[in-house]
Structure 1
Amino acid sequence: TAQGRDVRLSPERIEGYKFFVNKIWNASKLTFANLDDFDETATAEVADSLADLWIKARLNKAVEDVTTALDEYRFNDAAAAVYRFIWHELCDWYLELSKPVFYGKGSAEQKQAAQKTLGVVFPTMLKLLHPFMPFLTEELWQVFHGDDKNSIMISRFPAVCSEWKNDAAEKEMETIMDMITAVRNIRGEMRIAPSQKLDVLMSTVDEKTQKMVEKHKDYILNLANLESLTVEINAVEPKGVATAVVGSTKLFVPIVGIVDLSGEIARLEKELAKISKDLQQSSKKLANRDFMSKAAPDIIQKEEDKVKDFQKKHTTLENALKKLKGMSA
């Protein structure tokens, strides 16, 4: 919680922390399993991948944010920074990007580079997390270091490393991640099964972007679960596709033959009608003076949150419906 602010003890919040601990534990199992055959002496000249450069740059930023927040006694901000790095960057992205390399889809050099990176990132992450989760991090530290029984408490706290700062890698990886997210969003909107392989066409406006995507296309193929990815400059938009835009690049995802257009339109229209009714009811409550004057602040807040959620869903459904009707015309 923010400095000087009291909040009610929330069972949902505690459950969220339980999920966070489970996330760390599973990430640790993946790390230990893939560092078993790690030979540190063989990785001196191995070049880092884009994902390796990116995660070290993001860890560097997390170290900076956590250290600054702790120095200023903003413990909530320090905890939020390490939480954000572990869950949303290390687990959600880096480990997922690295799994194909660990499981035999990459070269031996790529695997060694990922092992080298994880061998540095993982213990640094534990040290950042230790002030907030001392028992869990001590246990994982002991497992990670094996015969070295020194406590994590007497290890040196992480410091910012200028060599890890890499704005270019962060920018490139952010673009790749946005492209993966765009395909995933189309899957969600169109209810396309995650297991369904897709053929995606990308249209870029320049050769630089085309070359960058081609160089790192394996990330997109693996995490967006694509059958193929074609990257062209100023490609013509095919018929029967869902479209997403990432920066100046357009992504075309074919859905004709994959999605039952008439059935999906009927489902979305029914769902949109229900959301519209729910939104109207909640909006009426908030417009009612009696309700606003008598209801407890937390009840009003819940209703306001519901309205925001309904509005977001309403917009998403409208956009999806518009796309499908355009394809079936």
Structure 2
Amino acid sequence: RDAEGKKMSKSRGNVIDPLIMIDKFGCDAFRFTLAMLASQGRDILLSEERIEGSRNFVNKIWNAARLTLSLIQGVRGFKEESFVNDSPFLPDRWIVSRLQKVIKEVTDSIETYHFNEASISLYDFIWHEFCDWYLELIKPNLYGKVSGFNNEKTKETLLFTLTSILKLLHPFMPFITEEIYQMLPHREAESLVIERFPEVRENLVEEESEREMEVIKGVIETIRKIRGEVNIQPNVKVEAYLKADGRQELLLKYAPYIMELAKVKDIKFGEKEIKERCAIDVAYDVEIYIPLEDIIDVEREISRIEKEMRKLDEELEKIFKKMNNREFLGKAPPEVIEKNREIMEELKNKRLKLASSRKRLGALR
């Protein structure tokens, strides 16, 4: 069926030709889209936009592989079964531990024919954990900005993780995974198709490393959220003051990575260091204070937010009247009603975020 749930037919003009889609977006993207949408007992609602999204994922994998290959130059060869998760660098231990859990999720989903769940697990892990976090965290080390950790072990971890990702992804994207596999140094088989599928290794799971990594990610995400809410420009670096009882040693050790990913110029610890007129938030048990006095014009930003909120209120009023109009609800097709309902929820969520920003800035007056 099409994206609106209608049966495809030539008379409706909503048929999606697989051959045209493969020519336009590639076979791997089309195949992965079908896997993601293949939920048991439900029709596949297919659209060109969904296939395009999978094509973007293919591009993400290709770019991540190219970056990985550039970073692991000179890495020593090793047998995968002999790999040990003992890197002194926390993100190395974290990504390997997370990989083991993803291997279990994907294996269980494939064995029970839940191919959509397997593909979604892979999508989330590759895009949001491997690319968005791990690759960004290891760059300062491998580019020479930060020293003190074992870069050789990080390179081994990177190669081990990418190789495992290619094996997991191969049933869903056979062409790009084989192409990347042929570029890997020290590969163990002539072709990816005859490689053994990854198996969970419980000795590589590091629960404590995962918990510690969540704290670091939480601090970075919270600082990013504050920056977004008060509209701090991307090129402006801020100061951060942290109250981190019990977490200070961990955060101090990985402060350079927090500064790099959250665009922070300086991190200070302790209550005495905290200045007035700060945006305040909490990540786990870490209190985060971001001074704003010399960074933004508070009154001007409040004025901008209030203007945007008034505009949203007008749009919400219009769509609210429409959704409470019996004549409209009686005549409009179900998909149109659903689309309007989605728009209304989107506007409400946007207004809530603006209200949160307005409240945060109001406290700085």
| More helix by percentage | 1
Aligned residues: 324
2:94 is matched with which residue: 28, 43, 54?
54
- Maintained 8 Å contact 2:239/2:266: yes
Output one character per residue of 1:149-169: Cα deviation in whole Å (capped at 9) or x when no partner: 711110000000112211111
Q: Is structure 2 residue 249 aligned with structure 1 residue 227? A: no
The one-letter amino acid paired with 2:110 is L
**Alignment match, 2:302:** 265
Shift of 1:18: 1.4
**Alignment match, 1:293:** 330
Q: Percent identity?
A: 38
Aligned partners of 2:111, 2:85: CA distance in 1, in Å? 37
Seen in structure 2, the aligned counterparts of structure 1 residues 239 and 147 have a Cα distance that, compared at 3 Å, is closer
1:302 is matched with which residue: 324, 336, 339?
339
Seen in structure 2, the aligned counterparts of structure 1 residues 230 and 5 have a Cα distance that, compared at 3 Å, is same
The one-letter amino acid paired with 1:93 is W
- 1:194 counterpart SS class: coil
- Maintained 8 Å contact 1:51/1:97: yes
**Alignment match, 1:241:** 278
Q: Is structure 2 residue 190 aligned with structure 1 residue 153? A: no
1:120 is matched with which residue: 160, 173, 181?
160
1:53-92 pair list within 5 angstroms: 53-92=93-132
Output one character per residue of 1:31-79: Cα deviation in whole Å (capped at 9) or x when no partner: 10011121347x9897331100110111111100000000100000011
**Alignment match, 2:182:** 142
Shift of 1:225: 1.5
Seen in structure 2, the aligned counterparts of structure 1 residues 237 and 289 have a Cα distance that, compared at 3 Å, is farther
- Maintained 8 Å contact 2:109/2:115: yes
- 1:53 counterpart SS class: helix
Seen in structure 2, the aligned counterparts of structure 1 residues 235 and 130 have a Cα distance that, compared at 3 Å, is farther
**Alignment match, 1:319:** 356
- Maintained 8 Å contact 2:87/2:154: no
> Which runs of 5 or more residues in structure 1 are unaligned?
none
**Alignment match, 1:277:** 314
Seen in structure 2, the aligned counterparts of structure 1 residues 313 and 45 have a Cα distance that, compared at 3 Å, is closer
2:208 is matched with which residue: 143, 165, 168?
168
Output one character per residue of 1:166-195: Cα deviation in whole Å (capped at 9) or x when no partner: 111111111111110111111111221222
Aligned partners of 1:195, 1:50: CA distance in 2, in Å? 28
Shift of 1:218: 2.1
Normalised by the size of structure 1, how large is the TM-score?
A: 0.92
Seen in structure 2, the aligned counterparts of structure 1 residues 236 and 199 have a Cα distance that, compared at 3 Å, is closer
Seen in structure 2, the aligned counterparts of structure 1 residues 44 and 137 have a Cα distance that, compared at 3 Å, is closer
Aligned partners of 1:62, 1:123: CA distance in 2, in Å? 14
Aligned partners of 1:309, 1:54: CA distance in 2, in Å? 34
Aligned partners of 1:196, 1:320: CA distance in 2, in Å? 18
Q: Is structure 2 residue 252 aligned with structure 1 residue 214? A: yes
Shift of 1:114: 1.3
**Alignment match, 1:26:** 63
- Maintained 8 Å contact 1:202/1:235: no
Shift of 1:6: 1.6
Shift of 1:284: 2.4
- Maintained 8 Å contact 1:142/1:149: no
Shift of 1:283: 2.4
Shift of 1:237: 5.1
- 1:245 counterpart SS class: strand
Deviates more, 1:294-303 or 1:250-259: 294-303
Seen in structure 2, the aligned counterparts of structure 1 residues 236 and 308 have a Cα distance that, compared at 3 Å, is farther
Output one character per residue of 1:257-305: Cα deviation in whole Å (capped at 9) or x when no partner: 1101222111111101111122222222222223333322322222222
Seen in structure 2, the aligned counterparts of structure 1 residues 237 and 315 have a Cα distance that, compared at 3 Å, is farther
- Maintained 8 Å contact 2:312/2:347: yes
- 1:56 counterpart SS class: helix
Deviates more, 1:234-243 or 1:161-170: 234-243
Normalised by the size of structure 2, how large is the TM-score?
A: 0.84
Q: CA RMSD in A?
A: 2.1
The one-letter amino acid paired with 2:265 is E
- 1:144 counterpart SS class: coil
